[in-house]
A and B are shown apart, each in its own frame.
Chain A
Amino acid sequence: MLYKSFTGGIALADRKLAESKLTTRGKAIEVCPIPEQLIIPMVQHIGTPAQPIVGVGDLVLKGQIIGQAGDFISVPIHASTSGRVTAVEPRWHSSGKELLAVVIEADGADRWDPAVEELKPELWTPDSLRQRIRAAGIVGLGGACFPTHVKLTSPADKPITTLLINGSECEPFLSADHRVLLEQTERVVDGIEILRQILAVKRVIVGIEANKEDAIARMQQCVAGRDIEVQALAVKYPQGAEQLLVAALLGLQVPNCGLPMDLGVVVHNVATAAAVSAAVRYGHPLIERVVTVSGPGITCAKNLLVRIGTPLQKLVDFCAGPRGEIAKIITGGVMTGQSQISLAAPVIPGTLALLLFGAADLPQQEAGPCIRCGRCAAVCPLHLLPTAIADCASLGRFDDAQAQHVMNCMECGCCSFLCPAYRPLVQSIRYAKAGILAQQGRA
C-alpha cells in the first residue's frame, strides 16, 4: 500500500537493529518515582533562558513559577514538585555544559500550588488561551522545544489555514509519542481542538507512521465526527521533521530558511497537544513528560512518565540498571540525540529518550576518504550534497559551504548513516555552520 511520503530519507525500521527485541511500543507508560533531588535547568527551550526568581532556602510548591520568562520567545519554568530550594548554581546539562539550574529537595508531599487552576471555557478566547499556554510553560515536546505560544501567534499577513499534528516518531527505539497516542488519546484530541480554536483553522490532519497501526486505529476512533483527518505515513526516517511532514501531508515545500507559517501551516507534536489540554483544563504547567528508556544496554526497557529535573541516573535505576558495560549514553534519538558523558544531567522537555549502548552495539570506525559513491546525495531529504559541504568545511571555505545551502541542513543524520567511509558528515556540517555564524558575528 502506498502511503504519503517525501523524497529521500532512509527506511530505518527494517534495518538489522536489535530494536525488534527491545521495542517498547507495547509497554504501557509507568510513572517514574519522584527523586529526592530535582535539578531544574533554566535553559530548557529555544529562545531566551529563564531567570530564576527563587533563592536558596525558599519553599516551593508543585507548579510554582521558579524561573521568569525572558522576552517573547521564552516561557516561565515551574517547580516539578513541592520542596525546598537547596541551590541555584550551574549544574550538568544534557547539552554537555554546566548551566544555571534550580536544585529542589523534594519534601515528598507533592502538593500543587493553589494558583494552578483551569481556564474556564467561558473565558476562552484565542488570546487568553495563548496566554495560558505561555504561562504554563508549554514548549514543543517533539524535541525542538520551541515555545508553543510563539507558533500560535501568526502575523496578520500570514493567515493559518492548516494545522498538522505530528505523530510520526520516526527515530528507532522511541515510543513515547506512540504510547501517548494510545493512552492519552482523548487528551490529545482535546488539545487539538483547543489549538484549532486558537488558530481558527479549517483543516486539521494528524500524521502517524504506518507502523503504529494501533495508534492510528485509536485516533480514528476518537476523532470520529470531529472533522479531523488521520493520515498514515510511510515508515521512513526522518518523517517527523516539520518540513518533511508538510511535504508528505500537503505536497508543499516550506520555503528555504522559512517556516511552515509561510505556507499557512502550523505543526505541533501529539504530546504538545496533550500538554496544551492539561494546561487549559486543569492549569497544569509543563512539569513532566514521557521518556523512553531503551537500548541494548538497559536491563528493562520502559516508557516512563518523568518529572522535569529528574537526574538521568534515576531513570536507569528504575529500569533495573544497566546491562553489561556501557560504552555510550544518548539522550534523544539515536540519529539526532546527544552523547552524554555521565548520567548526572536532568530530564528536560527535549529529552525524548534515554538510550544505553554497549561497545559492540554501535559500530564506530576511523573515517576514510570519500569514494564519491553519491549515497549521501541520494538520501538527503533536503537534496543537499553533504560530501561537498564537508569538503568545504575541512578547507575552511565557509562561504562555499553557505553557497551549498548548509544553513538549510536539519542535521537528520541520513548522510552519515549511509556513508561507507564513516565520514562524520553531520559533524562537518555543524562545524561549517559554526564557522559561518562566527564570520557573520564578526562582520
Chain B
Amino acid sequence: MLNAIVGLGQIGLVAAIALGWAAKRFAIDVDEREQAICAALPGANCGGCGFPGCASYASAIISGAAPINLCRLGGSAVVENIADIMGVKAELQAAQIAVVLCQGDNSKTTLKYRYCGLHDCNAANQLADGPKLCPSGCLGLGSCVAVCAFAAISISAQGLAQVNRSRCTGCGKCVAICPRHVIRLAPAAATTHVLCSSHDKGGVVRSYCQVGCIGCGLCRKTVPEAFIVDKFLARIDYAHADLAAAAIAICPNGCIVDFSKNFPAGSRLSSPPSLVADDGKDQH
C-alpha cells in the first residue's frame, strides 16, 4: 500500500515538474485583448469579414489592420463588445443581405443549349458563355449554394437561386463566386428589388425572358426618387427603397418584387423575414 502511494506520488511529482517546465518553455505571448475579442466573436469562421476565421480577424483588429465592425454575423452586439474591449467608439455598419437579381427560371427563359457536365455555374459558363440565352441570368447550377457557409441560398425546382433572408448574413461569398454577377448585397431593410440584371434592349430581353426588365422606365416615372434606369435596366436606389413598392403594379413584366409580401415561389420562408442585425438605428 505504501509502495503504491510513494510510487504514484513520485510519478505525479515528475509529471508536474515536466509539465511546469513545458508550460514555461513553450509559452506564447498573447495579447489578452486578442483572446477576449476572439471569445466575443461568433466563432463561425465564415469568412464574411474577409479574414480566414475569427482568430485571424481578432489579430487583425489588434494590429490595427481592420476596423471593428466587419463581423456581419455577430451584428451590433458583437461590435459593441469589441468596442468595449478596445476602448473605442462602436460604429455599426448597416446590415446587408444578398439578393439574387434575377427571376428567370427555366419556365420563363430560353436556353441556348442542353447542358451536360459539371454542376457548377463557373464551369458551365466556360462553354459558349453558359446555357442561358440571357447573358446576365442566373444559371441555377449551384456554385453559390456550395460556397454558402450558412445554407442561406438554395436552387429552386425550376433552376433559380434564391436567398433565405432570415439566414443570410451578408458575408458576400455568393456574390464573389457567381460568374454572371447576378447576386448583389443590398441593405437588409430594403425589401423591394428589381429582379433583373440584363442590360440588353427591351426587344432582345423579350426574346429570351418573359420576366426580364425591358428598360421602359415606367417605374422611374412613377416614383422618380426610388429608381435609376441605366442602360435599359432599372434598379432601386436603396437610399429611398421604402418608396419603391408603389411602382410594383406598374411594371409590365412584374420585375419589381417586394420580399416582405410575396416571396419567390418555392422559397423556404414561411413568415416575413426577420433581419439578422438591425441597422443601428435606435428603434425604442
Contacts and interface: CB of A to CB of B under 8 A. Distances in A.
Interface of A: 96-97, 339, 341, 364, 367, 394, 424, 427-428, 430-431, 434
Contacts of A428: 118, 123
B256 to A, nearest CB: 31
Interface of B: 112-113, 116-118, 120, 122-123, 126-129
Given A341-B112, A341-B113, A431 B127 contact: no
Given A341-B112, A431-B122, A96 B117 contact: no
A164 B120 CA distance: 41
Contacts of B128: 96-97, 339, 341
Nearest to B115: A339
B118 A339 contact: no
A341 B111 CA distance: 11
Contact of B123 (A97, A364, A427): A427
13 contacts: A96-B128, A96-B129, A97-B128, A339-B113, A339-B128, A364-B116, A424-B117, A424-B118, A430-B126, A431-B118, A431-B120, A431-B122, A434-B126
Nearest to B114: A327
A96 B122 CA distance: 15
Interface of B is mostly: loop
Contacts of B127: 96, 339
B129 to A, nearest CB: 6
A427 B117 CA distance: 8
A433 to B, nearest CB: 10
Given A430-B123, A434-B126, 5 more contacts: A96-B128, A341-B113, A367-B118, A424-B117, A427-B118
Contacts of B123: 427-428, 430-431
Contacts of A97: 128-129
Nearest to B147: A396
B140 to A, nearest CB: 16
Nearest to A362: B116
A67 B129 CA distance: 26
A339 B117 CA distance: 12
User: Lowest 3 CB-CB distances: which A-B pairs, in order?
Assistant: A96-B128, A424-B117, A431-B123
A302 to B, nearest CB: 26
A118 to B, nearest CB: 42
B234 to A, nearest CB: 26
A427 to B, nearest CB: 5
Residue with the greatest number of chain B CB neighbours at <10 A, chosen from A339, A341, A364: A341
A87 to B, nearest CB: 19
Contacts of A96: 127-129
A133 B116 CA distance: 41
B180 to A, nearest CB: 15
Nearest to B120: A431
B116 to A, nearest CB: 5
A367 B113 CA distance: 19
A434 B120 CA distance: 14
Contacts of B129: 96-97
Contacts of B118: 367, 424, 427-428, 431
A441 to B, nearest CB: 15
A424 B117 CA distance: 6
A96 B135 CA distance: 13
A427 B118 CA distance: 7
B275 to A, nearest CB: 30
Nearest to A426: B117
Nearest to B177: A396
A394 B126 CA distance: 15
B155 to A, nearest CB: 16
A427 B126 CA distance: 9
A367 B141 CA distance: 14
A211 B175 CA distance: 53
Contacts of A341: 112-113, 128
Contacts of B116: 364
A340 to B, nearest CB: 8
Contacts of B122: 431, 434
Contacts of A431: 118, 120, 122-123, 126
Nearest to B116: A364
A335 B127 CA distance: 16
Contacts of B117: 424, 427
A431 B127 CA distance: 11
Nearest to B127: A96
A427 B125 CA distance: 11
B157 to A, nearest CB: 17
A430 B129 CA distance: 15
Contacts of B126: 430-431, 434
A55 to B, nearest CB: 26
A401 to B, nearest CB: 14
A146 B127 CA distance: 22
A341 B113 CA distance: 6
A394 B123 CA distance: 10
A428 B117 CA distance: 9
A339 B113 CA distance: 10
A256 B113 CA distance: 37
B165 to A, nearest CB: 26
A428 B118 CA distance: 7
A434 B123 CA distance: 9
Nearest to A359: B114
A428 B122 CA distance: 11
Q: Which of A367, A431, A434 has the most C-beta atoms of chain B within 10 angstroms of its own C-beta?
A: A431
Nearest to A430: B126
A394 B141 CA distance: 14
B223 to A, nearest CB: 37
A341 B112 CA distance: 7
B121 to A, nearest CB: 11
Contacts of A339: 113, 127-128
A443 to B, nearest CB: 17
A336 to B, nearest CB: 14
A43 to B, nearest CB: 15
A339 B115 CA distance: 10
Nearest to A396: B147
A89 B220 CA distance: 34
A440 B131 CA distance: 27
B143 to A, nearest CB: 10
A345 B11 CA distance: 83
A260 to B, nearest CB: 29
A231 B209 CA distance: 57
A296 to B, nearest CB: 18
Nearest to A431: B123
